[in-house]
Amino acid sequence: MTRLKTFLIVGARPNFMKIAPLYREMKQHPTAFEPVLVHTGQHYDEKMSQVFFDELELPKPDIYLGVGSGSHAVQTAEIMRRFEIELMKHQPEMILLVGDVNSTIACALTAAKSKIDSQAMRTFRRRYVEFIKERKTESPLSAAHLKQCHSPTAPIIAHIEAGERSFDFGMPEEINRVTTDVLSDILFTTSVDSDASLLAEGIDPRKTFCVGNIMIDSLQHYLSKANPSEILDNLNLKNTDYGLVTLHRPGNVDEPATLKPILSALIRISERLDIIFPMHPRTRKLLPNLGKAFNEQLATSRVHFIEPVGYFEFLGLQKSARLILTDSGGIQVESSFLGVPCLTLRPNTEWQITLREGTNRLVAPEEQAVVTAAFHSLTNRNQPRAQIAKWDGNTSKRIVDLFIKIFL
């Protein structure tokens, strides 16, 4: 029997922890799948990429595109150009995509327009169409959609974390999410929120499968290794309460006018507790533009800037933090699961469910708003640990079991 040759795409930091459990699960079924690990090279620093391969037990990528940084257009185009060559060379039947970064949309767009005219491709496509047609749906859109959306010679595109929406097209990720979902054949969602968003956008619900949150698979698998002690020792913070911060959204960190008020808030919060801030390279780049006096103020405060840290150290830092302040997507998910209060310094979030059922709260990224919310959170301690349906560590198994059901 032909194995389903599947490209698993990684590119940027949050992709590694989402792909690792799927890679591991597929490897459990060697007669069913031929997983091929593709790294676009969107992130390339040792601390933004290699460290995760080591910790998450991912092998060296089978294909490395080495695209590096650039404007959105340059980076996306370069991934597409290099990815197309590999697609044609290896002719996979399926592309597995996660999240919302430029690597995700670039590979989706390339795959959706490609022509792979192999017997295996036609066989797997036929099984896919038969399976989807059998699913029950109330939606009158379904029949037309199924016809319209599927090229018989394009690899099957499966998107994990489909349907997450911030409803803010000012975020490059929102554009990547919506367009990737339109191009996908199989949409794996994390919750009822994402199911509803896809339905509202007219996506055939027979293509949508609610499987839970893949990030929790990695979190649960590696939680016993989560250990912040080396970092806390180095900073002399053992047995001390601390807050944890990450920032990298362009809307917060690309201009002094937006970054400075947030950092001023952190200086004020650090009068109450130490702040550990593993800094994304995008954010680090702006520090020299904030002026000598401000940098000196930061240096004498209890805000501790460190390099980005590995996954185990970061999970450890999250687990033991009194409070997390972030604009990351993944950290809203992880902190909710861990039951640690999270202030998300953004006007909106694609993880609405963590506001309702987790420990997350949106805070305007303005100095006084951040200080007030942080002090409020510090004086109201007990947060419940989130128990969101299907965020249980079994998402990769659900996905791979479904592939087996559809294709084999």
In the structure encoding, which two tokens stand for residue 289, read together?
A: 């533009």
Rounded least distance, CB 49 to ligand UD1, Å: 6
Binding of residue 316 to ligand UDP (CB under 6 A): no
Catalytic pick among 39, 159, 248, 304: 248
Alpha carbons 70 and 78: distance in angstroms, whole number: 9
Long-range contact pairs involving 127-132 (C-beta distance under 8 Å, separation at least 24): 127/406, 127/407, 128/156, 128/185, 128/186, 128/406, 128/407, 131/405, 131/406, 132/204, 132/206, 132/207
- 20-31 burial code (b ≥16 CB/10 A, e <16): bbbbbbbeebee
Longest dimension (CA), the chain: 68
In the block, tokens 């029997």 appear at 1
Residues 6+ apart with CB under 8 A from 322: 241, 242, 243, 273, 341, 378
Partner interacting with residue 331 (select from ligand UD1, ligand UDP, none; CB below 5-8 Å by kind)? ligand UDP
Does position 331 interact with ligand UDP (CB under 6 A)? The reply is yes
**Residue 97 touching ligand UDP (CB under 6 A):** no
86 versus 100: smaller Cβ distance to ligand UDP = 100
Nearer CB in complex with ligand UDP: 48/199: 48
Q: Is 248 a catalytic residue?
A: yes
Strand partners for 368: none
Specify the residue, 99 or 155, whose C-beta has the smaller distance to ligand UDP: 99
Q: Which does 289 bind (CB under 5 to 8 A by kind): ligand UDP, ligand UD1, none?
A: none
Residues that bind ligand UD1 (CB under 6 A): 12-14, 42-45, 48, 69, 100-102, 172-173, 248, 280-282, 285
- Per rule CB under 6 A, is residue 33 in the interface with ligand UDP? no
Q: How near is the Cβ of 103 to ligand UD1 at its closest, in Å?
A: 7
What count of other Cβ atoms lies within 10 Å of the Cβ of residue 125?
Answer: 21
Q: Contact with ligand UDP (CB under 6 A): which of 329, 341, 358, 393?
A: 329
The answer to whether residues 87 and 112 touch, using CB atoms and an 8 Å cutoff, is no
Among 8, 9, 11, 14, contact with ligand UDP (rule: CB under 6 A): 14
Angle at 50 (CA atoms; ends 48, 55), nearest 5 degrees: 105
Q: Measured from the CB atom, is 47 or 127 closer to ligand UD1?
A: 47
What does 44 bind: ligand UDP, ligand UD1, none (CB cut-off 5 to 8 Å by kind)?
Answer: ligand UD1
Q: Identify what 102 binds: ligand UDP, ligand UD1, none; CB under 5 to 8 Å per kind.
A: ligand UD1
Q: Which is nearer to ligand UD1, 45 or 201 (CB)?
A: 45
Residues 6+ apart with CB under 8 A from 370: 261, 262, 265, 266, 269, 325, 343, 345, 363, 364
Interacting partner of 338 out of ligand UDP, ligand UD1, none (Cβ under 5 to 8 A depending on kind): none
**In 3-state terms, what secondary structure has residue 400?**
helix
Q: Does 154 bind ligand UDP (CB under 6 A)?
A: no
Footprint of ligand UDP on this chain (CB under 6 A)? 13-14, 17, 246, 278, 308-311, 314-315, 328-331, 334
Residues serving a catalytic function are 248
